[in-house]
Structure 1
Amino acid sequence: MAAAEEAAIVRVRHCGPDIFCRRPPERCPACGCPLRGAALPAVPVRLPSPFRHGHRQRGAFLLRPTGAAAFLGGYDGNSDLHVGITNTNGLVYNYDEEGIHRDETGWEQCISIPLVQPDMFGLLHQWDKLLEEFSAGEAWLPHRYEEHDHNCYTYALAFINSVLTAQGKQQMSKSEFTEKFVIPQTKKASKYITLHQELTANEFYIVYHPDQEKQC
């Protein structure tokens, strides 16, 4: 399922707990009071999806589940993630045991971390050339692949560091990049996946806050 096709997740607040649903109900599932015409403490909010269509991202670091599963279509939260880098046309460069791939499809539902801001005109102009030249290096031949030490993440981070070096900036370690950029996004994605799974099985998902007083 592509990001644009995701069913909306809406958060409603009425009598204390957060009520997550696909559409606001007639009655509050927590207290049973009518919601139509009720003075809600906050307007129902549609939660923004943490997933993006990877082929529409320019100069971005992408993550998606390895294999055919999508984040909202069978991902169990424990399977490995695959990493890629987009050029300015949304072509996704990625590395595995078969070498470098330049994917035109398959990354329609991803976590996306922008690497190039729209106002970085000089870098945007060079990005595709830098990415292609880097990917043609012998380090990324198929026989050099090693699942734990020379993989898709190694490839993506090495490219990012090559760009940082060319700009005279300090390189980033894997742990630094992961903690600063990847973990905040995967935490958001994990919460959204939980809500999606709950609402696939049930009409509502209610999160109670013990410090809030019940109101109706």
Structure 2
Amino acid sequence: MFRVSRKGKCRCAPGWLQSSGSAVAESMQPAELEHSLVMLRHCQKNIYCASVPECCPVCGGNAVASQRLEDAPIRIPSPFINGHREKFCFLLKPTNGTFASEYDGNSDLHVGISSSKGIVYSYNESGVHREEQGWHQCVGVELLQPDMYGLISQWDKYLEDFSTTEAWLPQRYEESHHNCYTYALAFVNCMLAMQGTRQQLSKEEFTKQFVLPRTRQASKYITLYRAIVKNHFYIIDSPGAKKLNSLTQEANALLQ
């Protein structure tokens, strides 16, 4: 369990992915957080929704009547993944519940590493766990490139051998300084050392370079998701509309 501050510093504490929104409505299930959302432009608005509507929620007209390329609906891919379907990943999830429903911005987060078979290894006060379920909604960082054949072929062995060392015995667990993040990052650094990389990644470096960009994207996505769950749409002025309104106001001021 850990927290990432906006400056990229990691420290053990509740919550770090700040988001807002209300409870999930029955019209969308939590699992749908893994699905893409859609953004379309109409009535000088950016309209976010779960799928392309027939009618514009602002004016009631045909939502996709325009033939201009810039008005075509845009798919917004979900930053969330099923950790049991993604190999060789650094994974993050709420310790209890899911990002979509129970997560409230103050929840503890848990970290793990996925094997080639989708088994997630993680560490807590009871030692190392090997789980085949429970990591279906995560934020992930891919750790291997497709051409890393040596590591790919031996990944599961390295992960198992690493996890059976005395460093990860239950009694060694310490919430602030020897936790799930310590375990996962130590394994990442071991793999870097095997590749001949001398410089080890600190928590601050790994968080800033790999974790924060993904969690910021996830935070925005959760905000959109919860707004759509509650209201079916999330509508804001498009940048073009704001510029047009500003020019109109300036013109009106000159005429007065």
Query: Normalised by the size of structure 1, how large is the TM-score?
Result: 0.90
Q: Provide the C-alpha distance between the structure 1 equivalents of 2:212 and 2:144, rounded to a whole number of angstroms.
A: 19
How far residue 75 of structure 1 moved from its aligned partner, in angstroms, is 1.2
Q: Provide the C-alpha distance between the structure 1 equivalents of 2:81 and 2:59, rounded to a whole number of angstroms.
A: 36
Map of 2:189 onto structure 1: 161
Map of 1:96 onto structure 2: 124
Q: Provide the C-alpha distance between the structure 1 equivalents of 2:30 and 2:116, rounded to a whole number of angstroms.
A: 20
Kept in 2, the 8 Å contact 1:77–1:190? The answer is no
Map of 2:44 onto structure 1: 16
Q: Provide the C-alpha distance between the structure 1 equivalents of 2:195 and 2:223, rounded to a whole number of angstroms.
A: 40
Map of 1:187 onto structure 2: 216
How far residue 55 of structure 1 moved from its aligned partner, in angstroms, is 0.7
Q: Provide the C-alpha distance between the structure 2 equivalents of 1:207 and 1:152, rounded to a whole number of angstroms.
A: 39
Q: Provide the C-alpha distance between the structure 1 equivalents of 2:35 and 2:127, rounded to a whole number of angstroms.
A: 36
Q: Which runs of 5+ in 1 are unaligned?
A: none
Kept in 2, the 8 Å contact 1:16–1:212? The answer is no
**What's the C-alpha RMSD, in Å, of the aligned pairs?**
2.0
How far residue 3 of structure 1 moved from its aligned partner, in angstroms, is 5.4
Kept in 2, the 8 Å contact 1:64–1:82? The answer is yes
Q: Provide the C-alpha distance between the structure 2 equivalents of 1:201 and 1:47, rounded to a whole number of angstroms.
A: 19
Map of 2:252 onto structure 1: none
Kept in 1, the 8 Å contact 2:34–2:81? The answer is no
Superposed, which structure 2 residues align to 1:1-216 within 5 Å?
A: 6=34, 8-39=36-67, 41-67=70-96, 69-169=97-197, 170-208=199-237, 209=239, 211-213=242-244
Q: Provide the C-alpha distance between the structure 2 equivalents of 1:152 and 1:13, rounded to a whole number of angstroms.
A: 43
DSSP 3-state at the match of 1:123? helix
DSSP 3-state at the match of 2:106? coil
Kept in 1, the 8 Å contact 2:185–2:203? The answer is yes
Change (3 A) 1:3 1:200: closer
DSSP 3-state at the match of 2:71? coil
DSSP 3-state at the match of 1:55? coil
More moved, 162-171 vs 21-30: 21-30
* Identity across matched positions, percent: 53
Aligned positions, number: 213
Deviations 1:54-75 (CA, angstroms, capped at 9, x unpaired): 01111110001112x1111221
Amino acid at match of 1:29: P
Q: Which runs of 5+ in 2 are unaligned?
A: 1-28, 246-256
